[in-house]
């Protein structure tokens, strides 16, 4: 593999790709729309990248012309993003009528809101699942990750995954170029994205003001994440008390958990505070490990006394290691 692709994780390069020359062109309107979406949101945002791919001998050229946003019923927070798949699929079918040569090339999403500096294990797993599914008809999956917003510019990382290959690659910046072109499809998608954002704003206002306390039925109807309020309270508290804690997403069930280390007399303790995957009526779970062995395992009901209970468990863990 050329020196411009860095292997993710541990593993060996696959000889099938060792001579591949990859270039990526991204239309500047795509970058502009991504920057706009990221700058007005404090949650994970994203979209499906749409464009063309051409292979010629060992040359692989990916052209990202536009993207389909995450839709009116996106389920997202600072630590997760579940796009409105039905909307994205329907939108793609419409776009194909205008341009039958377009492909779904991969996706972009952002970690600007949670400071994760690279793809999460869950991100990588879902890209591989997409690539290896029968509905996906390319051998490549291109991913753009926004890691930060600095002023009016995003900081991006680029990745490429191959069908049936265990490891993905990070692409060197020099392989990715922005070109000053606009896809004719972009005006449809840009307008749809604006309508989706407006819909999301209304949905939040409606569910907060009209219903007052949210009923479970209304949350399902509107697609609002029932754990959203809990997550934002927990984020505030955790980042106040333990600024080095990191939000993560479980590979197994998609639930959000916080992970941090803390000092004890004998060494570092690993703390995991895990939210249930869907309903706030199920308690969260707190686990504390020392040298890989569990020393605390507690269910934390998601009510107002949860922070006191977490603090108590942290103190008890330190006591136990004395």
Q: Which is nearer to Zn ion, 103 or 248 (CB)?
A: 248
**Least distance to Zn ion from the beta carbon of 117, Å?**
11
**Least distance to Zn ion from the beta carbon of 170, Å?**
14
The structure tokens 């109807």 sit at 221
Long-range contacts of residues 210-218, Cβ cutoff 8 Å, at least 24 apart: 216/279
Structure letter (DSSP) for residue 214: P
Q: Which residue's Cβ has the minimum distance to Zn ion?
A: 123
φ, ψ (nearest 5 deg) of residue 276:
-65, 160
Task: Report whether 199 contacts 74 (CB < 8 A).
Answer: no
**Least distance to Zn ion from the beta carbon of 205, Å?**
27
Question: Which neighbouring-strand residues pair with 259?
Answer: 246, 272
Q: Which is nearer to Zn ion, 123 or 170 (CB)?
A: 123
Buried b (16+ CB within 10 A) or exposed e, 161-189: bbeebebbbbbeeebbeeeeeebebbebb
**Least distance to Zn ion from the beta carbon of 27, Å?**
23
Question: What's the CA gap between 223 and 211, in Å, rounded?
Answer: 14
Q: Which is nearer to Zn ion, 65 or 123 (CB)?
A: 123
Q: Which is nearer to Zn ion, 87 or 127 (CB)?
A: 127
Our measurement of the distance from residue 3's CA atom to the centroid of its chain's CA atoms, rounded to an integer in Å, reads 27
**Least distance to Zn ion from the beta carbon of 114, Å?**
8
By CB under 5 A, name the binding residues for Zn ion.
Answer: 120, 123
Q: Which pair of structure tokens corresponds to residue 53? A: 């791919």
Q: Which is nearer to Zn ion, 66 or 120 (CB)?
A: 120
């Amino acid at each position: 593999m050329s020196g411009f692709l860095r292997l993710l994780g541990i593993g060996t390069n696959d000889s099938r790709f060792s001579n591949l020359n990859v270039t990526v062109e991204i239309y500047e309107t795509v970058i502009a729309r991504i920057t706009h979406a990221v700058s007005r949101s404090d949650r994970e945002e994203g979209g499906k990248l749409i464009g063309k791919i051409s292979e010629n001998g060992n040359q692989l050229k990916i052209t990202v012309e536009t993207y389909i946003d995450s839709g009116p019923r996106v389920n997202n927070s600072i630590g997760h993003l579940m796009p409105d798949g039905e909307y994205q699929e329907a939108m793609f079918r419409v776009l194909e009528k205008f341009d039958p040569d377009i492909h779904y090339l991969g996706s972009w999403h952002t970690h600007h809101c949670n400071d994760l500096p690279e793809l999460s294990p869950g991100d990588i797993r879902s890209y591989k699942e997409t690539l290896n599914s029968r509905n996906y008809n390319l051998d490549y999956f291109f991913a753009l990750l926004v890691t930060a917003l600095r002023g009016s510019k995003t900081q991006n990382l680029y990745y490429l995954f191959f069908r049936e290959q265990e490891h993905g690659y990070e692409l060197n910046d020099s392989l990715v170029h922005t070109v000053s072109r606009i896809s004719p499809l972009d005006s449809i998608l840009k307008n749809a994205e604006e309508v989706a954002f407006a819909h999301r704003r209304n949905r939040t206002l409606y569910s907060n003001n009209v219903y007052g306390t949210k009923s479970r039925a209304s949350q399902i109807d509107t697609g609002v994440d029932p754990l959203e309020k809990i997550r934002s309270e927990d984020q505030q508290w955790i980042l106040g008390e333990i600024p080095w804690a990191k939000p993560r997403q479980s590979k197994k069930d998609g639930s959000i958990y916080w992970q941090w280390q803390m000092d004890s007399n004998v060494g570092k303790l690993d703390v995991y505070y895990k939210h249930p995957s869907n309903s706030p009526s199920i308690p969260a779970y707190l686990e504390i490990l020392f040298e890989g062995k569990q020393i605390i395992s507690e269910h934390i009901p998601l009510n107002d006394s949860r922070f006191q209970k977490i603090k108590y468990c942290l103190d008890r863990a330190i006591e136990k290691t004395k």
